[in-house]
Amino acid sequence: ADDSAYPFPVLRYPSIDTTKLVGYRAGLPLSPELMAQVESRHIDLIHSHCPVTSTVLARMLRRRLHVPLVFTYHTKFDIDIANAIHSKRLQEASIR
């Protein structure tokens, strides 16, 4: 993807195809390389869209970089989790 039109850096990370399970791809942002990329830039805000892996990364970075984290919810993730994971405890933990 060409991110040159954005006035801010966009850091992309790999994902796996989970479309048959939940209807969309699942990101895999937890890598030492991505952490190093993010930590090497002057970041004043972290914005996360996904309540799982990217927000796990975002929360780790928020603590390490001491910057605010903004989370916006763009999916029906809570419904997808309830359909895929039948343990109420795991469902609740995944959307916290």
| 27-40 confidence digits (pLDDT tens) | 887 778 888 888 88
pLDDT of residue 96: 58
pLDDT of residue 35: 81
Residue ranges of the domains in the chain?
Answer: 15-94
pLDDT band at 94 (very low <50, low <70, confident <90, very high): low
CA dihedral 74, 79, 81, 86 (to 10 degrees): 170
Of all residues in the chain, the percent with pLDDT exceeding 90 is: 11
pLDDT band at 8 (very low <50, low <70, confident <90, very high): confident
